[in-house]
Structure 1
Amino acid sequence: MLESRNPTLRWATRADGQPPPSMDQHRVDAELNALAHHLDSGRMTVEGTVYKTLALLAITAATTFGVWIWAGGEPVGVPVAGLAFFPLLAVGVLTGFKPRLAPITGPIYAVIAGAFIGVLTLALQTMVGAGLTVLPTQAALATLVVSGSMLFAYRTGLIRATPRLRKVVITAAIGIVVFYGINIVMSWVGSPMTLIWGGGMLPILLSVAFIAVASLMLVLDFDLIEQMTGTAEKRMEWYGAFALTTTLIWLYIEMLRLLSLLQRD
């Protein structure tokens, strides 16, 4: 008589859920563990999402360094950096509507973001007069501290991703995107980006407010990843990584802008 190799079918020999008397208990446990592992291996995990997030951040960093090398440290204008804003927005919107494309759009976004950061850093180097790596290093450390603090606040329950918080943060984020888009387009026709790079306290206060929104967006990302873990398909790790990476990059850029404003003033 042929014996099925499917552990699920082999367990179906008794209606009470107990193993057949002829089977060794250790063998049953081993088959159950194998079945559980098989089921889990096709599901999204936090560990897999973290690895993919690190991969996207590595692509971003590598592209940034590539832009620096290609430019040879030559200064550029901030409006030139703004050319990458709308491609980033397009990729982000596409991924939001088509999460299954994240394995493709994630690396594309990382490359465009890396180019944007590279050009922006060269522009800020001219504006502030600091070394090429000074502001990026400070911004990276600040981003690490803030993101770590928000993760701690989320894990300990100090901040919860409530429906109200989600609505407020997403609405604010959309407003910020529109704000940047309008200012970038205006800069292309010769209008100064006073509210973004101008002197005085207003650009600094706006930058602090934007950092607060980006920090709270991290909480929404953490909650998204936690909700999908164990239930979503394995490929959705890329979507979780994409969401987290976009927020981290946004937070980093805001830190870069705030530090440049503070050092210039």
Structure 2
Amino acid sequence: MSNPVFDNNAIFRDPKKARRQQTQRGAQQPGMVQDRATTATVGYDTDALNRMYGAPSATTAQTGRLTYDDVIMKTGGLLAVVVVMAALTWFVVPDALKMPVLVVGALVGFVLGMVNSFKKVPSPGLIVAYSVAEGAFLGGISWYFENMFDKPGLVMQAVLATMSTFAACLVLFRSGKVRVTPKFTKWLLTAMVGYLVFSLLNVVLSFMNVGGGGAFGPLRGGGLGILVGLFAVGLAAAMLIVDFDSIKRGVEAGVPAKFAWTAAFGLVVTLVWMYLEFLRLIAILRGSN
């Protein structure tokens, strides 16, 4: 299992499937490759063809293909939108309105997240709108954690922990010490399903006022909450590794540059989740429940 943003888009999936489909189409239309090769050279003399063959190969940027720079730039831009909106929510929105803004941002972000995850062609406008909504949500919930729990520095600790984990995952992936294998993805699928069921159960018990757990629910407080928080952060880190692998496949396959928006969106989704898990884990460790 990978990030649904990547998993629902065919261009970021395992290339073996794409090659099988391409082979089947080629078998249905014999002679196509030869005809295209012949057509492509019509109108060129020998000297012109020699100059073309001797010229440097076009880069991926020149051919309109996805590059790592595209992904980095768009991811940085989306994160900047998230940070700016979070800051505006924290410092500009009145305290009495922060909770409504938090709730609206969470709901809008969830809806736009689902819409963008299932779109086959990325929509930059909708992806930026998602970042705006998530920024408002993160600004509200960050203010709530730090002020309502009276824990100065909590948000900065969560931000630094998220950035450090992202950097560590990237270094491990680039070094080849961590690889995305079928066994790895199978483990991640099982763990994600288990965590989802656990989280839903915690929410249900919270609404029913069963058990303690303070602001985090009966299954997320105390020692158990710390263990669950560490497990959730580990899941988010594993998801980042899978995201990196999906982006690597997309770059190597030469997919269109517009899908850099999809890649950036997927990374932002994972980073937002990781930040929230760190925020909750650090709050528990500092005794806020």
TM-score past 0.5 threshold: yes
Offset of 1:93 from its aligned partner? Answer: 2.8
Q: 1:75 to 1:256 in 2, by over 3 A?
A: farther
Counterpart of 1:29 in structure 2 is: 54
Counterpart of 1:3 in structure 2 is: none
Letter in 1 for 2:72: V
What aligned pairs does 1:12-51 form with structure 2 within 5 A after superposition?
20=46, 22-23=47-48, 29-30=54-55, 33=57, 36-37=58-59, 40-51=62-73
- Distance across 2 between alignment mates of 1:179 and 1:143: 23
2:123 pairs with 1:98: no
Q: 1:65 to 1:192 in 2, by over 3 A?
A: farther
3-state DSSP class of the match of 1:264?
coil
Q: 1:89 to 1:257 in 2, by over 3 A?
A: same
What aligned pairs does 1:16-165 form with structure 2 within 5 A after superposition?
20=46, 22-23=47-48, 29-30=54-55, 33=57, 36-37=58-59, 40-72=62-94, 81=102, 84-131=105-152, 134-165=153-184
Letter in 1 for 2:125: I
Q: 1:243 to 1:127 in 2, by over 3 A?
A: same
Q: 1:105 to 1:188 in 2, by over 3 A?
A: farther
Counterpart of 1:237 in structure 2 is: 260
- Distance across 2 between alignment mates of 1:138 and 1:39: 38
8 Å contact 2:60–2:67 — kept in the other structure? no
- Further displaced range: 235-244 or 193-202: 193-202
- Distance across 2 between alignment mates of 1:158 and 1:97: 31
Counterpart of 2:4 in structure 1 is: none
Identity of aligned residues (%): 29
What is the CA RMSD across the aligned residues, in angstroms? 3.4
Letter in 1 for 2:92: W
2:258 pairs with 1:262: no
- Distance across 2 between alignment mates of 1:74 and 1:192: 29
3-state DSSP class of the match of 1:253?
helix
Offset of 1:228 from its aligned partner? Answer: 0.5
Q: Cα deviations across residues 129-150 of structure 1 (Å, max 9, x unaligned)? A: 123xx22221111111111111
What aligned pairs does 1:186-225 form with structure 2 within 5 A after superposition?
194=213, 196=216, 199-225=221-247
Letter in 2 for 1:258: L
3-state DSSP class of the match of 2:151?
coil
- Distance across 2 between alignment mates of 1:153 and 1:102: 31
Q: Cα deviations across residues 161-188 of structure 1 (Å, max 9, x unaligned)? A: 1122223324433444454456456656
- Distance across 1 between alignment mates of 2:227 and 2:212: 15
Letter in 1 for 2:157: Q
Offset of 1:46 from its aligned partner? Answer: 0.9
Name the count of aligned residue pairs: 247
Q: 1:213 to 1:141 in 2, by over 3 A?
A: same
- Distance across 2 between alignment mates of 1:201 and 1:259: 13
Offset of 1:160 from its aligned partner? Answer: 0.8
Offset of 1:152 from its aligned partner? Answer: 1.3
8 Å contact 2:89–2:98 — kept in the other structure? no
Q: 1:264 to 1:123 in 2, by over 3 A?
A: same
Q: Cα deviations across residues 210-251 of structure 1 (Å, max 9, x unaligned)? A: 000000000000000000014211111111111111111111
2:191 pairs with 1:172: yes
Letter in 2 for 1:264: G
- Distance across 2 between alignment mates of 1:38 and 1:222: 19
Q: 1:261 to 1:69 in 2, by over 3 A?
A: same
Counterpart of 2:274 in structure 1 is: 251
Offset of 1:91 from its aligned partner? Answer: 2.7
- Distance across 2 between alignment mates of 1:183 and 1:84: 22
